[in-house]
Structure 1
Amino acid sequence: MSQVTDTVLMVRPASFRKNEETAVNNYFQEDLALENEAINAQAQQEFDAFVTKLKAAGIHVLVLQDEKELNTPDSIFPNNWVSTHKNGDVALYPMYAENRRRERREEFFTLLEDAGFAIKNVIDYTEAEEEELFLEGTGSIILDRVNEKAYCALSARADEDLFIEFCEDFEYLPVLFTANQTVGNERLPIYHTNVMMCIAEEFAVVCLQSIDDKKERKQVINQLKESGKEVIAITEAQMHEFAGNMLQVKNAAGKRFLVMSASAHQALDATQIASITKYCEILSSDLTTIETCGGGSARCMLAEIFLPKL
């Protein structure tokens, strides 16, 4: 079992913009004084430059082109609706925003099979949408695949019962907590766990300040340390620069990288960078438009492929 993959799938946007349906509880989204066409064009430029950087580092990138007719502003974040697993399982997840449900496409499976990956079983949780229950993939769930632990910050997009069901199906130990951010004068739930937490092979980057409950914070720290992870704490201000939204990958030669946005990279201090670069190289790319309008960053754009080869 490996925590990192050398293959990711990314979706090139066709109608990227600030998604009006997700903005209700994604407090990272902001307005840009641009027409939607211009926003999408900028997002495509950032996307293409990011793909080029990943490929130049020797990471396999499969690109699926979004279709304009689908009108899916958040299609650039595929990790929320699908996850793949070493045993050939693919999980499909129930999405909070109705316009995000259209992102689930057959072409995803075709692209993987054409690339030589074996899909043995599809585990579909999407019926939960009918009951208004949601669990948004590896946005909601942070997997420690080697130690078989799953971390989840509960929110409108991460239902406790669904998360427990996922953990039973995939045989993960559930680690549940609540993570908040300050919005105005209120502490409100962070929409996705993966903006405040990243688990790599030998370390974890986590915004401990967002876990208000001391017992829950201690439990998260203990579980990470018990799994042999160095805990690299980031501040809430750094989290808002997407310093928690990172993903460790490897290239074809096995070299490790921690992938993040340029804003996340710039937000880190020298000590945090030294802690990360003990273990792997940092690979960062400018994702300003995508972060501003989409409220998501580098990790959200990468659907990890762990499937066996045909």
Structure 2
Amino acid sequence: MTVSKSLQAPSSVVMIRPLHFSVNSETFDNAFQSSKPSSSDDARKASQELSDAVEVLRRHGVEVHLFDGVDRRTPDCVFPNNWFSTHAVGHIAVYPMMAPNRRLERRSDILDMLKTNFRVQDILDYSGLEHDGLYLEGTGAMVLDHVDRIAYAVESERTSQIALERFCTHFNYEPMAFRAVDAHGQAVYHTNVLMCIATDFVMIGSRMIENEARRRDVLNRLGQSGRIVIDLSEDQIRKFAGNAIELQGSEQRILALLETAMNALRADQKAKISDSAVLVPLKIPTIELSGGSVRCTIAGIHLTPRACV
């Protein structure tokens, strides 16, 4: 399968090997996070899982800019998509984070790499909003439709409406916020565990959107994009089926997702995905303990590479 490149699917990404991984004691609002204390061996396992995932993506032709975690105070550094995002025409956003120890994940060396290797016009830093208790945790808090310019966002403590509207104004996105809860009434903490937008399809746990009218609004907007909408059950969401990312490989687009998530998909759902992207399962069981999955570990680079000198 050979397909044309897409604005939605980056061919380059940033990933961080978590040398000091542990379950973050400051983020227990995340219902996907394990309540069990970390073991002494978890850091080694998480580091190896991330390294193995990078090799799988590279074999498919994805350019991975791999960094090592450097600060023992940042147990969630493996999830870089929360503190920065990149955008066409050379823009970078840096985000305000709710947990104090997650604010330490922001790294100038990663921003410097992006400026060196890609065309960057400006960096908009929203991190000062933390002083006002306003948070917007990047492409965890928002799932961005880069083609139709819509920012889908689940309402939560990690997604301030003020910060969302400010981002959308600066980056020319239409905000579409909604509340989503699980069967126990607990709010979904990040949008990217609920939905994934690819070039030709969308995966979403729409039945978890609490307000029926708002659910119809979201599904209508997704349908207007011309994409196939693949509705996921809450059980599939719990297995991180919505926490996937479409990437551009050397010959085809791929959908990177958790192996458990892929196994949770029905045959008809897999067939719809396979019409435009190759399913690429990754194994990160230790990293999952922190309440994030494959999409969370990948920060897509939507910038134009600099010409080689």
Q: Distance in 1 between matches of 2:37 and 2:150?
A: 42
Q: Distance in 1 between matches of 2:263 and 2:150?
A: 30
Of the candidates 299, 302, 306, which is equivalent to residue 306 of structure 1? 302
Which residue identity is paired with 1:66? Answer: G
SS of the residue 1:174 aligns to? strand
Q: Which residue of 2 aligns with 1:245?
A: 243
Q: Distance in 2 between matches of 1:205 and 1:30?
A: 24
Confirm or deny that 1:58 pairs with 2:61: yes
RMSD: 1.2
Aligned runs of 1:152-231 on 2, under 5 Å?
152-182=153-183, 186-231=184-229
Q: Which runs of 5+ in 2 are unaligned?
A: 1-5
Q: Cα deviations across residues 26-66 of structure 1 (Å, max 9, x unaligned)?
A: 0001145652x311111111101100100011110000111
Q: Which runs of 5+ in 1 are unaligned?
A: none
Q: Is the 8 A contact 1:263 1:288 kept in 2?
A: no
Which residue identity is paired with 1:89? Answer: H
Distance verdict in 2 for CA 1:212–1:34, change over 3 Å: closer
Q: Which residue of 2 aligns with 1:262?
A: 259
Q: Distance in 2 between matches of 1:33 and 1:136?
A: 24
What is the deviation of 1:118? Answer: 2.0
Of the candidates 291, 303, 306, which is equivalent to residue 295 of structure 1? 291
Q: What is the count of residue pairs matched by the alignment? A: 301
TM-score for the superposition, normalised by structure 2: 0.95
Q: Is the 8 A contact 1:70 1:102 kept in 2?
A: no
Aligned runs of 1:38-57 on 2, under 5 Å?
38-57=41-60
What is the deviation of 1:199? Answer: 0.3
Q: Is the 8 A contact 1:72 1:100 kept in 2?
A: yes
Q: Distance in 2 between matches of 1:98 and 1:33?
A: 20
Identity of aligned residues (%): 37
Confirm or deny that 1:29 pairs with 2:25: no
Which residue identity is paired with 1:271? Answer: D
Q: Distance in 2 between matches of 1:280 and 1:145?
A: 17
Which residue identity is paired with 1:73? Answer: P
SS of the residue 2:140 aligns to? helix
Of the candidates 61, 72, 75, which is equivalent to residue 73 of structure 1? 75
Q: Distance in 1 between matches of 2:239 and 2:268?
A: 17
Q: Which residue of 2 aligns with 1:276?
A: 273
Q: Is the 8 A contact 2:23 2:37 kept in 1?
A: no
Q: Distance in 2 between matches of 1:223 and 1:91?
A: 25
Q: Distance in 1 between matches of 2:103 and 2:61?
A: 32
Of the candidates 13, 17, 28, which is equivalent to residue 18 of structure 2? 13
Q: Is the 8 A contact 2:256 2:279 kept in 1?
A: yes
Q: Cα deviations across residues 172-217 of structure 1 (Å, max 9, x unaligned)?
A: 11111111113xxx40211100000000011100001210210111
Q: Distance in 2 between matches of 1:102 and 1:43?
A: 19
TM-score for the superposition, normalised by structure 1: 0.94
Q: Distance in 1 between matches of 2:175 and 2:115?
A: 31
Which residue identity is paired with 2:11? Answer: D
